[in-house]
Structure 1
Amino acid sequence: MLLNKKISVWYFIREIKSQILFIGIFAVVIGLLDMLPWFRKISLPLNIPALLGTAVSLLLAFRTSQSYERWWEARTVWGAIVNDSRTFVRLMIQFLPVGEEKLIKDFAARQIIWTYALGESLRKQPFSDKVKQYLEKNNISGMNIPNALLDAHSRQIKEIAVSKGLTDFQQMQLNDMVTRLCDSMGKCERLKNTVFPRSYSILVHILIYVFAAILPFGLDDSQLAVEIIVTFLVPIVFIMIEKTSIIMQDPFENRPVDTPVTSLAQTIEINIRQMIGEQNVPLKKENTSYYEM
């Protein structure tokens, strides 16, 4: 997630450097063609490229809105994961009898690992050493590791409901928390696996290039440099807006604009370890970069 300091403009420029080069060549070629005698006879009212530019602007506004909605939904879901993780451990501390600190720590450790495993699986990264060691130690495996960890939560809740004498209401409360965590996991997987229609991007790109192609024929032919600059700058602005939407629409791709799942998992770990009374809990280091992951 981009922080509100030291934001790198070069990150966005690197993302569209190939389009910048293409549009630059395109603008020069179209500008020179417009100076040829046969093309100089072609003159379009400026209203035509203006109308097309308006259509592109509306499409980009919709695209940006939908992309931000996906990004914000991912951040909202992970906000719920932070709260539900704290609440789950708090209920364990409240419901289990005094002297069951080891059992509480088992649930706390599993919940911490679940948050890391979920973030890493959404980004399709190899599991970190912390997650691998826990999975090996507890013989947890499967195609969907976060779901397997929630299954372990459910099994152990069923066991302690009998062995520790939990009431039906207490068991229901704990199962409800597991259900909420599962719902959040499902929402993240939906955002990860539902792609934005490719045909929409193709349509926007075609309209941008058509706009760039007809724009010089609506401008004054006496100033070639101005034609080329305008033909270059306006489509580049459109492409930058679209590229921003594209990189924002997928919030779990391990990029600077991602939902900061690793940072949130670290926050959850610190909070939970403090809740169960662990000493010397390491605090998060202040981020000095222009983004956090």
Structure 2
Amino acid sequence: MYTKRNYSIKIMLSWTRRNIYKFVIISAIPTILYVVLDWKFIHLPWLPIALVGSALAFIVSFKNNASYGRLWEARKVWGGIVNTSRSFTIMINDFITNQHANEKLSDKEFFSVRKELVMRHIAWMTSLRHALRAPKPWEMSSVNSSDREYMNDVEINERKFSLDEELEGYLSAEEKQYVLSKANKQTACLNLQSKHLRRLKEQGYIWEFSFLEMENLIVELFTLQGKLERIKNFPYPRQFATLNLFFVWIFIMLLPFGIINVFDEIGLKILNAYENPSWFMEIIGNGFVWLSIPFSVIVSWIFHTMERIGEVSENPFEGIANDVPITTMSRGIEIDIRQMIEDEPSSIPKGISEQKGIQM
């Protein structure tokens, strides 16, 4: 049985194994030429390569910080949706009353009104997550072989079901047709919500100041939606993302040429340390240059994996293991707010199950 830490290491090595094979080949070829064919001239000075590595570390760190900032902002915005959804539902429960109404409604009729508002809110979240899952030209996980292999047997609701199918039961047929006819379907849901609140206010079921409070939450939902759309529709600048990858591969290609001579000199020092070295020390001294291969592979793997982590973090809604689990969070919100209005337990869906330890 794997511990969580060991399992994560196993997943990471599996996720990057194709690149590890490339690093082994890139490192082995110069070493074979240097040792077997005695091409001693192919080595490069270590100092400029070390300077390139130092500069690259800063560049990769900058990209990772920026990518993590996008990921963390997306998670915070969804946290805001969680809080605003609960606040909106509390207001639906307590602000919609007969206090100022001329025509009184029964408890059953009030429940119907509350449920309609809550279900429309869920339709808004459904439309929003479908919009966020829509592929963009700059999102690379769908074409990256390692990402596709890892996510191959993971089902994503937004890819498995159409928005038309997922809106079924949350909107009336007329409202559903209206929403699907609009380019920005999540905005259409909030527009319907606001119109419904206005009608309730005009009929006296919502006090004027309560109506303003509820409209403020609609405005807040628009703000949160806009923040998510900004992250989705404006990518991490391509000049940084592309050049980072080029710089990493340039460093990986140069690295073996810079360290083979260093390891060869260490082997010679081991031999020269003894006047009559034993056969064991001769093997170590003469073969020490071959250690440049695993050393080069490890250093290459570290730099490339850090660059890959930044790459998969910069677009937090693609639907891969490192993304914000918007489907799971939306279902959690739905369960919370439907329970808050005392909806029938049997009609409330279950939470989204993890797949391969991933929340989608």
Indicate whether the TM-score tops 0.5. yes
**Quick one: distance in 2 between partners of 1:202 and 1:97?**
57
Separation in structure 1 between the aligned mates of residue 214 and residue 70 of structure 2, nearest angstrom: 29
Structure 2 match to 1:49: 49
Matched residue SS, 2:183: coil
The structure with the largest alpha-carbon Rg is: 2
Matched AA of 1:291: I
1:143-222 equivalences under 5 Å are 143-164=183-204, 166-215=206-255, 216-218=257-259, 219-221=262-264
Matched positions, count: 290
Query: Are 1:251 and 2:316 an aligned pair?
Result: yes
Rounded to whole Å, the distance in 2 between the matches of 1:201 and 1:49 is 21
Q: Percent of aligned positions with the same letter in both sequences?
A: 26
Q: Which segment is superposed worse, 47-56 or 149-158?
A: 47-56
Q: What is the Cα-based RMSD across aligned positions, in Å?
A: 2.6
1:131 aligns with 2:198: no
Is residue 296 of structure 2 the alignment partner of residue 231 of structure 1? yes
- Normalised by the size of structure 1, how large is the TM-score? 0.88
In structure 2, what is the Cα distance between the partners aligned to 1:20 and 1:6? 19
- Equivalent residue number for residue 103 of structure 1: 113
- TM-score with structure 2 length normalisation? 0.73
Q: What is the Cα deviation at residue 24 of structure 1?
A: 2.4
Q: Which runs of 5+ in 1 are unaligned?
A: none
2:167 aligns to what SS in structure 1? Answer: helix
Give a deviation string over 1:203-223, Cα, whole Å, max 9, x none: 223332332343333423353
Residue in structure 1 matched with residue 306 of structure 2 by the alignment: 241
Q: Determine if contact 1:16/1:243 at 8 Å carries over to the other structure.
A: no
5+ long unaligned stretches in structure 2: 99-105, 135-157, 265-285
Per the alignment, do residues 123 and 11 of structure 1 end up closer, same or farther by CA in structure 2, a change over 3 Å counting?
A: farther
| 2:153 counterpart of 1:113 | no
The code of the aligned residue for 1:167 comes to: W
Deviation of the 1:288 alpha carbon? 6.8
- For residue 62 of structure 1, give the secondary structure of its aligned residue in structure 2: helix
State the Cα deviation string for residues 182-240 of structure 1 (Å, max 9, x = none).
11111111111111223223322333233234333342335342122222221111111
Distance 2:333 2:218 in 1: 16
- Displacement after TM superposition at 1:50 (Å): 2.1
Change (3 A) 1:192 1:6: farther
- AA at the equivalent of 1:151: N
Higher relative contact order (CA 8 A, sep 6+): 1
Instruction: Tell me how far apart the structure 1 counterparts of residues 33 and 171 of structure 2 sit (CA, whole Å).
Output: 65
CA distance in 2, matches of 1:83, 1:150: 17
Instruction: Please say which of residues 160-169 and 175-184 is displaced more in the overlay.
Output: 160-169
Equivalent residue, structure 1, for 2:325: 260
Describe the SS at the equivalent of 1:102: helix
